[in-house]
Chains A and B, each alone.
Chain A
Amino acid sequence: MLSFSNISKSIDTWLNATFNSTWTMLFEMVIAGVGVISLFAILGLVLVLMERRVAAWIQIRLGPNRVGPGGMLQSLADTVKLLVKEGMTPDGADKFLFNLAPFIAIIVAMLLMAPIAFAKNFQLWDMNIGVLYVTAISSIMVISILMAGWASNNKYSLMGAMRSGAQIVSYELSAGLSILAIVVLSGSLNLNDIIQSQADGWWIFKGHIPVIIAFIIFIIAVTAETNRAPFDLAEAESELTAGFHTEYSGMKFALFFLAEYINVFIVCAIGATLFLGGWMPFHIGNWESFNHIMDYIPSSMWFFSKTFFLIFLIMWFRWTFPRLRIDQLLNLEWKYLLPISMFNLLLVTAMAILGWHF
């Protein structure tokens, strides 16, 4: 059967048979890098188009409908436009940091791809601290935003960057706590183990109400962490023009833009892995025949459909809710989400110890 794991395995055996181990290693790295970059490009095109279409339908419009059949090539045209534009650096900017910031943003997004299991036995790096790695790396994102804001030498950029710093640092807490709920239940930091622990049902069904609360908090927190509306204070078009990327143009702007969408994809992939079972098909307890039928749908299909479901959820939020003020934002985190998720973690721990979940 043709699947991602079979393809990667056959490539690996072929390389091993033809070259010595060092070269194999190198070639595999190159293949992985090219794969990740092309995935980025495809994701960027698809997600931008999806966002515009979802926005249009929610606002009772048609959305892009000029370029290509039904406007399908709109984001491709936008990409070409951005590629041929001049990437300007303002005179007063700190040139080095200004040009470095978008690359840090994209590198962080790339690093985050490593532990994600796209399909059964298909993962760039199966590490035993996957969850910790993801939470740690994703907080580097704030550095690129602060760097961009500071180096632009523009008050709006700096203000956007500071807001974003406050926001990401505080929402990381509740995101971490809600992730911990799943870590407590599955007893492992390894993303593969977490997926395996959901073989008899996804955590969101097995974990009763506490896990559902953790899931909701996770979604809210990651929406804030990726700087998307209703938490898009960092950009806030109407007040800060575009926040930290006001001064960016051309490809450098495109990198920030891409990084935002890639981050959305990644947090949704993590959310799908933790709460909805990653590539694990929809299984119910020990209904063998039902589970067997579900296994016929390829695991990569399961993973991508769950991830895109979560992405749709986040887009739906964006086009429904009005933007929060900075004080409301911090209120929401420190007075509501954090206490609730702490209490919730306590509940989950009790549940895990007493074995109340299925």
Chain B
Amino acid sequence: MQEFKKEVSFVEKNKIAIKKKNMFIVNYIKDVFNGVKSLVVGLRRTMYYFSHHKEIITEQYPDNRDTLVLPDRFKGEVILVHDENNEHACTGCTACELACPNATIKIITKFDISPEGKKKKAIDKFVYHLELCTMCNLCIVACPTDAIKMAQTFEHSVYNRAELTKVLNKQGSKIREGVE
């Protein structure tokens, strides 16, 4: 019985092999046909683009500078948000400085004397090295008071590298009332 089974399977295998051999030429033609078909699909797509060249997707940048619309998530540089009273929300906690992987931010703190005579920590200078920033957004996430955010400006080129080191808090600005 065992022997017989073996015999059968052998015959079966042979049949499959013969079938495969006959299939070869069919497969060959199929290959050629499918290849040509897929190429034609590609050619049709590019011909469509070629003949519809008015629907360009690129921005004509320096020409459309005034009407340029950037996507919301575009990250250009870190700024410290100031309101109309020249007040910001930065407490000088240095969480952003610690979060930054590139040591881009340096917070220099000072002590303000409040009217009641109490000492209070505040920022003296928020130093930001644009040339080191990778726009990774980690500082923004780290800030507990949402004092900083990403601006959409991107024309950052200057002739002198020193100009890239910026102080973000404006002259005479102070912390907004009520922000702890």
Contacts and interface: CB of A to CB of B under 8 A. Distances in A.
Interface of A: 54, 56-62, 316-317, 319-321, 336, 340
A25 to B, nearest CB: 47
A356 B6 CA distance: 56
Nearest to A59: B49
B86 interface: no
Contacts of B39: 320-321
A317 B50 CA distance: 12
Interface of B: 31-32, 39, 42-43, 45-47, 49-50, 52-53, 55-58, 60
A214 to B, nearest CB: 15
A316 B43 contact: yes
A57 B54 CA distance: 9
A316 B48 CA distance: 12
Given A62-B58, A62-B60, A57 B43 contact: no
A317 B47 CA distance: 10
A54 B50 contact: yes
A57 B58 contact: no
A62 B47 contact: no
A58 B46 contact: yes
Majority secondary structure, B binding face: helix
Contacts of A317: 43
Contacts of B53: 56-57, 60
A60 B32 contact: no
A321 B42 contact: yes
Nearest to B63: A65
A316 B58 contact: no
A161 to B, nearest CB: 28
A316 B50 contact: yes
B35 to A, nearest CB: 8
A62 B56 contact: yes
A58 B52 CA distance: 9
A316 to B, nearest CB: 7
A212 to B, nearest CB: 12
A325 B74 CA distance: 38
Nearest to B36: A216
20 contacts: A54-B50, A57-B53, A58-B46, A59-B49, A60-B49, A60-B52, A60-B55, A60-B57, A61-B57, A61-B58, A62-B56, A62-B58, A316-B43, A317-B43, A319-B46, A320-B39, A320-B42, A320-B45, A320-B46, A340-B32
